Amino acid sequence: MKLDLRKEFQTIFDSTEIPRIFFAPGRINLIGEHTDYNGGHVFPATISFGTYALAHKRDDQKLRFFSLNFTHTGIIECDLSHLAYDEAHDWANFPIGMIKFMRDSGFIISSGMDILFFGDIPNGAGLSSSASIEMVTGVLLEGLFDLEIDRVKMIQLGQQVENNYIGVNSGIMDQFAIGKGKKDHAILLNCQTLDYQYAPIQLEDHVIMIINTNKRRTLATSKYNERRTQCEQALADLQRELSIESLGDLTKEQFKQHMYLIQNKTNLKRAKHAVYENHRTLEALQQLQQGHIDAFGQLMNQSHLSLQLDYEVTGIELDTIVHTAWEQPGVIGARMTGAGFGGCAIAIVEKEQVEHFKNTVNTIYHQKTGYEATFYTATIGDGARELIEGVI
Footprint of ligand GLA (CB under 6 A): 29, 33-34, 36-37, 128, 170-171, 173-174, 338-339
Of 36, 114, 174, 249, the active-site residue reads 174
Identify which of residues 109 and 178 has a Cβ nearer to ligand GLA in the complex: 178
Q: To the nearest whole angstrom, how small is the minimum distance from the Cβ of residue 299 to ligand GLA?
A: 15
CB of 340 to ligand GLA, least distance (A): 7
Residue 230: partners with Cβ closer than 8 Å, 6 or more residues away:
264, 266, 267, 270
Q: Which is nearer to ligand GLA, 22 or 37 (CB)?
A: 37
Considering beta carbons, is residue 159 or 320 the nearer one to ligand GLA?
159
* Closer of 36 and 249 to ligand GLA (Cβ): 36
Rg value, the chain, Cα: 21
362 vs 199, 336, 372, CA distance in Å? Answer: 31, 16, 6
Rounded to a whole number of angstroms, the minimum distance from the CB of residue 234 to ligand GLA is 16
Q: Which is nearer to ligand GLA, 38 or 369 (CB)?
A: 38
Q: How far is the CB of 250 from ligand GLA (least distance, A)?
A: 18
Asked whether the beta carbons of 21 and 391 are under 8 A apart, the reply is no
Closest CA to 324 of 373, 276, 277: 373
For CA atoms 94, 97, 103, 104, give the dihedral sign.
negative
Sign, CA dihedral 123-126-131-135, equals negative
Output DSSP code: residue 380.
B
173-180 helix and 129-144 helix, angle to the nearest 10 degrees: 50
**Closest CB to ligand GLA among residues 76, 177:** 177
Angstrom distances, CA of residue 94 to CA of 52, 146, 167, 183: 14, 21, 11, 26
C-beta of 162: minimal distance to ligand GLA in Å?
7
Q: How far apart are CA 379 and CA 209, in angstroms?
A: 9
Least CB distance to ligand GLA at residue 313 (A): 8
How far apart are CB 128 and ligand GLA at their closest, in Å?
6
d(CA 193, CA 40): 9
Whether the CB-CB separation of 98 and 134 falls below 8 Å is answered with yes
Distance CA 363, CA 349 (A): 17
249 labelled catalytic? no
Quick one: 80 or 191, whose CB is closer to ligand GLA? 191
CB-based burial of residue 361 (10 Å sphere; 0-12 exposed, 13-18 middle, 19+ buried)? buried
Closest C-alpha among 136, 186, 254, 152 to residue 32: 186
Residue pair 304/284 in contact (Cβ under 8 Å)? The answer is no
Catalytic annotation, residues: 174
